[in-house]
Structure 1
Amino acid sequence: MATYNVFRLQSQGSHQNIKRSSEPIPTIEGHEILLKIRAVSLNYRDIAITKGQYPFPVKDQVIPCSDAAGEIFEVGSRVEGFKVGDRVIASFDGSNLYGPQKNWNHGHGGPVDGFLRQFAALPATAVVKVSDEAKLSFAQMAGLVCTGVTAWNALYGNIPLRPGQTVLFQGTGGVSLTGLMLAKAAGARTIITSSSDDKLEFVQKKYGVDHIINYKSTPDWAAEAKKITGGEGVDYILENGGSGTIKQSIECIKMGGSIAVIGFLAAAKQEDMPDVAGLALSKGCIVRGITVGSKQLLEELVQFVVTKGLEPPVEKTFGFSPEEVMAAYEYMQGGSHVGKICISIE
């Protein structure tokens, strides 16, 4: 029986517990496709899972990584609309075809095996085809899964972003830079925050963000954002900090604006926990938790990216050897990156 290389998290506590082994190549049923995985991208979620800090279910001996792109290697007898060789992206939650995510029991790389491997059998309904004309690498395609769909959901999943509106992004990670790319293409004014002048200068030069704020040298970054908008406030915020930054986010949101709560990177002390209900009421704003998004949102995102000729921000791509996989996780954990970190699988 033919075998393939696969990495599994032997136990939670450290990414060093991810070990490579050989397993039989999966067989497919009539409604499935066999995906030859060509690239995966990493997310902060992957680090949290290895450390045992992810607050949702994780299966024992899980195959890590939720974001994958590749080529169809085999097509099930009842599958229509796909052929061998098609380039596709796997959705984050194969059960979430449209609408809100129902629960946390089906996300790849957590409760369900992910894609740090060479092959995966998936329902044909769980992948999105990317046209042959699209000038996207497999790493860029993989980078659209969690970060791309999360950013698209934040901007279009409830009240759609309109040209001329203002969007503020916290930090220079994958979600912020992908959201910046989308917002710029949609005609929005953009603001990004970071504690690093070097990162801000790089993002302004490479991605054309309209305004930058260093929240270390400008601790009251909410006031600066309001100043940029002539006192009105911003229309959308991609909130990556969580309880430690939500107070300032609500302070600088426009009346009736939308705050997409995406991350929990800056937790507030219990004694400093803001009154989010009272603050949100004072602004009449939407504070909305984002749990990635459906296959439908992934399809919309792919169509937008391909039509606009956008290039998802991949900073660095590592190889598939155990040493390279460890290096990718360590680079992700270091937090110095600007954009996506990916692993190429050959």
Structure 2
Amino acid sequence: MSKQTVFRLKARSSPDDLVASEEAIPSIGKYEVLIKVRGVTLNYRDIAISKSKYPFTVKDNVVPGSDAAGDIVKVGDGVRELSEGDRVIGCFDITNQYGPQQDWDWGQGGPIDGVMRQYITLPASAVIKIPQGSPQSYLEWACLVCTGATAWNALYGNNPLIPGQTVLFQGTGGVSITGLIFAKAAGATTIITSSSDEKLEYVKSKFGADHVINYKKVPNWGEEARKLTAGKGVDQVFENGGSATIEQSVAAIARGGIISIIGFLALAEQSQMPDVTQLALGSGSIIRGINVGSKQLLEDCVKFVAKAGLRMPVEKEFGFSRDEIVNAYKYLESGQHIGKVCINVD
């Protein structure tokens, strides 16, 4: 087989701009591997890219998607630690080995072509082997590439989470649910917010959230979170909303706690923008931007998931056709999901 199915965004006004084509399976260089893609997961970033709302560079006619798991089918002559048949995932940024991400020029599915295709080539240095014998599916492992690395970076990339601490998660999307799974496994107390009582009850029963807050019913949910911690405040916040929610995050945070800025789902009107400088100074908190995570962080995350036997929150699967992928985008955009929306390439 010398051809593969590849999906590209011919324009970027909506997910409907996705077009399928037949293209050659790429050859590999000396230090690269060829991966047969088995599973892909979506992120809010993919929605933003498809609608020209992503605030960073996106190449024309891009192959979307950053998160994939699959099997190595060919190895370059200079590759030593990977072999044909290995189950693997690729890093979000193919250049970031360690430390903070230095730029936005190498993220898959944006400035460079991504994973929405049957075969991809990656530098061996950007590939992580999945531990042998692990029960997680390809889709579960794909969940870790962006979502898992982001959650792990938030919890362990600065002052590492300590058992007994409290973490608050905004919303029931992939990063929040994955972070909740990690935090519970590490012995933390967890609080999660949503506007849906049904979602909150589901998360409490399925994923073991210790406390839930409906932010529609309790607009001052930061104060409520503080009450749940006997007035101390939470040690970490997954800030997925942005300027419209940061004030409540600061109200919830303990002195010296970490607010991880992850998303920009809820933006305040310019006239209502909070004074973040004053908020940070008054709370003594660390407000930290999370740019996914390095290969080292992702490797640590993979080891933890394998060792603890954690199962990732695959909420809904779609097939590998143009209509199915567009429907997956639209389902993710609808906000109905609890966890991850996935594409089964097989």
Q: Which bin holds the TM-score, normalised by the shorter protein?
A: over 0.9
Residue 309 of structure 2 corresponds to which residue in structure 1? 309
Alignment deviations for residues 52-101 of structure 1 (CA, whole Å, 9 cap, x no partner): 00000000000000101100010111100111110001100000011110
What is aligned with 1:47?
A: 47
Matching of residues 207-226 of structure 1 within 5 Å: 207-226=207-226
CA distance in 2, matches of 1:86, 1:171: 35
Kindly provide the amino acid, as one letter, of the partner of residue 273 in structure 1: M
Displacement of 1:323 after TM fit?
1.6
For structure 1, the residue ranges without an aligned partner over 5 or more in a row are none
Question: Could you list the runs of 5+ residues in structure 2 that have no partner in the other structure?
Answer: none
CA distance in 1, matches of 2:274, 2:79: 51
Aligned to 1:112: 112
Q: Determine the structure 2 residue equivalent to 1:237.
A: 237
Q: How many correspondences in the alignment?
A: 346
Q: Secondary structure at the match of 1:73?
A: strand
**2:336 matched residue in structure 1:** 336
TM-score, normalization by structure 2: 0.99
Partner Cα distance (1:234, 1:180) in 2:
14
Identical pairs, percent = 59
Structure 2 distance, partners of 1:143, 1:121, is: 19
One-letter code of the match for 1:334? S
**Letter of the structure 1 residue corresponding to residue 264 of structure 2:** F
SS of alignment partner, residue 89 of structure 1: strand
Deviating beyond 2 angstroms after TM superposition, the runs of 4 or more aligned structure 1 residues are: none
SS at match of 1:323: helix
* SS of residue paired to 1:183: helix
Q: Secondary structure at the match of 1:312?
A: coil
The alignment partner of 1:181 has SS state of helix
Q: In the aligned structure 2, how far is the partner of 1:333 from the partner of 1:245?
A: 19
C-alpha distance in structure 2 between counterparts of 1:34 and 1:235, whole Å: 42
2 CA distance for matches of 1:155 and 1:216? 27
Alignment of 1:167-316 (within 5 A): 167-316=167-316
Structure 1 residue matching 2:177: 3-state secondary structure? helix
Distance 1:17 1:129 in 2: 33
Separation in structure 2 between the aligned mates of residue 282 and residue 14 of structure 1, nearest angstrom: 41
Alignment of 1:57-68 (within 5 A): 57-68=57-68
Secondary structure of 1:80 counterpart: coil
> CA separation in 2, counterparts of 1:15 and 1:240?
22
Cα deviation digits, residues 195-238 of structure 1 (max 9, x gap): 00000000000000000000001111011101000001000000
Deviations 1:16-52 (A, max 9, x none): 0110000010000110000100011000000000000
